[in-house]
Structure 1
């Protein structure tokens, strides 16, 4: 098989994989559409609402598990499952801290995944260092800006250190995603940061309630999780293809 035939074969394989992956993601898209169809600003907290809200994330976990197997349980699959727990907790405002804790574990699992051999990072570059610096400055600046509003919260003693740790874990996750140089993974992690920061502005009353504030948070959230899941599947496939090529 010459180089042209090999290249054509690789293109066919990537095309077939993309079609199969898209087909397996259809339940996620349908469940996300169901959430936005049923949600209204007046939606009451309930088990049903929590189930509908967390279903897209759990379906993404099932997709990643079906493609990557058990190796992803302590990685992106685990992060998606903990994110689903966080989704359920955030339905009830009194469980906000519990939800924040669940998402913190999710970010930790994502970070550990981005450090694994599945993601072969590019060598350190000035671009990486610049992005790391920008993200950490953004995280520190946002926490500083949020600090006076956290002090006014009823459970300020818990939120002041808790939110600080959470923003740190979120920032680390974003910087490690950039280190992988996988486009879907980088975009997903950065959009996740945007989603969380938008949610914080609303939860801690930094800005007045926006008409479509919750929609913005959830659209960016589902998109971020989708990109992280797809990025993990592609990273695993790329590693397997490289291993096959090396052994041939």
Structure 2
């Protein structure tokens, strides 16, 4: 059964590649059919391989993150609904934060915190986010507050992924951390294209990094609980 589940990953990659090709061609009409199909195989894959986590909050939050991502994918097909798509992905990131927190040893243990060291550890995450905000800030207008909230949440997701260092298996840590960072990069490219300076390659770069990020996160969480 485990071997059969990998076919869902193949389907995820196939649908993702088809959508990338349509994106490169600017075929937005056909993307109405391809984009809503992307996350479904990945969600089914995770649901199938995580049956040993049935009833756990970790499984529920991971499935919820993929569900909100699916909703966001659909809503963002319609530019006039951008704010709703932002809200869907905001919820997805919150679910990922909870998942990353739960998929580590002693997740709620409160020890001595060195805030200077913590800041330095997270600096490689903060710097690109600060640069993106600096560039897009003049053009945010009424979107400033929603964008700031969204950025704070995705920064929390990335820093929570980094927090898992030495609190899970190395494979799980690196897959999740790289996936979370790439997700942040994907959203950064989208923000620069919308609020700084549009560039033709942005759509392909956004979807390419998004596809990779989602896959890495799912495989990283899988690696945490699979022997």
TM-score (norm 1): 0.76
Q: Deviations over 1:156-208 (max 9, x none)?
A: 1xx1110000000000000001111311000000000000000111122x123
- Tell me by how many angstroms 1:131 deviates: 2.8
1:73-92 aligned at under 5 Å gives the runs 73-92=59-78
Q: Which runs of 5+ in 1 are unaligned?
A: 1-16, 242-248
Pick which of 79-88 and 118-127 moved more.
Answer: 118-127
Give the whole-Å Cα distance in 1 for the aligned partners of 2:20 and 2:132.
Answer: 29
Mapped pair 1:220 → 2:209: yes
Partner of residue 146, structure 1: 136
CA RMSD, Structure 1 to Structure 2 (Å): 2.6
Change (3 A) 1:171 1:61: same
Partner of residue 132, structure 1: 122
Contact 2:23-2:203 within 8 A present in 1 as well: no
Give the whole-Å Cα distance in 2 for the aligned partners of 1:171 and 1:105.
Answer: 14
Does the residue aligned with 2:76 lie in a helix, a strand or coil? helix
Change (3 A) 1:121 1:190: farther
Contact 1:64-1:232 within 8 A present in 2 as well: no
1:227-242 aligned at under 5 Å gives the runs 227-237=216-226, 241=227
Partner of residue 181, structure 2: 190
Q: Deviations over 1:223-246 (max 9, x none)?
A: 000000111111121xxx4xxxxx
Mapped pair 1:95 → 2:81: yes
Contact 1:51-1:88 within 8 A present in 2 as well: no
Mapped pair 1:60 → 2:50: no
Q: Which has the larger radius of gyration?
A: 1
Change (3 A) 1:128 1:57: farther
- Tell me by how many angstroms 1:89 deviates: 1.1
TM-score (norm 2): 0.82
Contact 2:43-2:66 within 8 A present in 1 as well: yes
